[in-house]
Copies of this chain bind each other. A is one copy, B any other.
Amino acid sequence: MNEVLISKEEMQKVLKAVFLKYSFSETQALTLAKIHTESTLDGITSHGINRVSVFIDYVRRGLINISASPTKIAEMGSMERWDGNLGSGVLNALSATNGAISLAKEHGMGLVALRNTNHWMRGGTYGWQAAEQDCIAIMFTNTTPNMPAWGGKHNRLGNNPLVIAIPRKEGHVVLDMALSQFSFGKMENLHLKNELLPFEGGWDKNDHLSKKPKDIIDSGRAIPVGYWKGSALSMILDMLATLLSAGNSTYKIGEKESETAISQVFLCIDPNRFSDRDLQEKLINEIIAYTQDVDPIKKGDATYYPGERTMATRIKNKNEGMMVSSKIWNEVLALAR
């Protein structure tokens, strides 16, 4: 696969031009360019630079309303319900995260339930955002159906990414996990390299679990993390996102031609309410040190805390630039022209 080396500054400049060309405001274009660049910088290329053309396609098809901004539907003390009005998923999620942070700083805990929004790209973005503002966060989104519920043949669950973040001086702890074992992006990459998945990743057309990425891409049926356990977790997170936002469930999203008008939850906790931040930091550092004080199971392996490798990738890419597929980069350049 041909790749080009792109600096942070260059990517952000080009992306801003793309978003301006598609009629986003100066501020919106800058924010979107920043977020897509940061995701790529953090190594989540699939939801950074690689996703830009899909995003623009959504804008072109009118699935994303670029002039929409979220509106508050109801407020109940520390909880609020918002409507994303089908605006950009990134801008809506940034706004909802800020809302939940403000509520947490005021009340100790804060929750924003957001409906009728669009794909938030990398879920981790909002976990890092909350951690940067010294908040603990628990966030999740529903999606279009892309996994069967355990026991059934047909896709009925979303892979519903779950984000949990804890601020930490020496590097925030940020978990960002979809509830499918592998993303279709990962499976596509391995298929192109003619490699097998390390573990079964979904069902083939004959309803057998398979490690062959192509089999699963063709069937479109990914496996939930932990089989029946991830299936149940995905279902209940969809229920929570749907009922708290009074928005669309994975069921309703699946009835649409494209994944849009989805539901999300942003829950923040202000750790400063507890008057022992130094102790908290020490306790977290002890956990990290303990989990890392091990022999590797395979030579050269190591254990990491959630977010650790993201931060390492970020620093490396800031210094050295990002490797981007030439095909993708040319597509993005063409969008800017």
Contact = CB atoms under 8 A, between A and B. Distances in A.
Interface of A: 74, 76-79, 81, 107-109, 111, 136, 138, 148-154, 156-157, 162, 164, 166, 173, 175, 177, 181, 199, 203, 207, 225-227, 229-233, 235-240, 242-244, 246, 249-252, 254, 269, 271, 273-276, 279-280, 283-284, 286-287, 290-298, 301-306
Contacts of A274: 74, 76, 79, 81, 243-244, 246
A170 B233 CA distance: 20
A166 B254 CA distance: 23
A226 B232 contact: no
A177 B251 contact: no
Given A79-B109, A243-B283, 5 more contacts: A156-B290, A175-B236, A239-B283, A243-B280, A252-B286
A297 to B, nearest CB: 5
Contact of A153 (B199, B239, B287, B296): B296
B232 A151 contact: no
Nearest to A255: B290
Q: Would you call the interface of chain A mostly helix, strand, loop, or mixed?
A: mixed
B164 A236 contact: yes
Contact of A269 (B111, B227, B284): B111
B175 A249 contact: no
A175 B291 contact: no
A10 B225 CA distance: 40
Contact of A291 (B109, B157, B275, B295): B157
A283 B232 contact: no
A47 B220 CA distance: 38
The interface centre, meaning the residue of A151, A244, A293 with most chain B CB atoms within 10 A of its CB, is A151
A274 B229 CA distance: 29
B243 A166 contact: yes
Contacts of A107: 77-78, 107
Contacts of A74: 274-275
A154 B78 CA distance: 42
A251 B181 contact: no
A241 to B, nearest CB: 10
A74 B272 CA distance: 13
B243 A148 contact: no
A150 B308 CA distance: 14
Contacts of A230: 225-226
B295 A153 contact: yes
A140 B277 CA distance: 21
Nearest to A230: B226
Q: Which 4 A-B pairs have the closest CB atoms?
A: A225-B226, A152-B294, A251-B290, A76-B273
A149 B291 contact: yes
The interface centre, meaning the residue of A154, A229, A242, A306 with most chain B CB atoms within 10 A of its CB, is A229
A291 B243 contact: no
B153 A305 contact: no
Contacts of A150: 303
Contacts of A153: 294-297
A156 B291 contact: yes
A77 to B, nearest CB: 5
B306 A232 contact: yes
